[in-house]
Amino acid sequence: MDKLTEIRKEHEDLQQTVSERPEYRIEAMKVLANINYLLQLVETQAKALEFYADANNWRMDAPGFVDLSVAEKDHGQRAREALTQV
């Protein structure tokens, strides 16, 4: 199990515990909200990285035709958008 999967599982377990133990609710809800934010942030940034890591996004559209690849046309926009959520 990778670390992100482990964190997601612990997040789910904590949500279940909070629903069963109301005395933990206020503090746990703060922690859950922060974990949820971080998980969404990691997912957004991972998608941006996957876009740039995909070799198909760096290929030209037509052989012999000089044009920018999809990644070059993007000019880092996906990365900037992912980073603005930090």
* Structural Rg of the chain based on CA atoms: 20
What's residue 70's pLDDT?
81
pLDDT value for 63:
65
What's the pLDDT at 52? 86
CA distance linking residue 22 with residue 18, whole number of Å:
6
Model pTM above 0.75: no
Task: Give the pLDDT of residue 18.
Answer: 80
Per-residue pLDDT of the chain (86 residues; tens, 9 = 90+): 688 888 888 888 888 888 788 777 787 888 888 888 888 989 888 888 888 888 887 776 666 666 777 888 888 888 888 877 65
**Two tokens at 80?**
């900037």
Residue with tokens 């992100």: 4
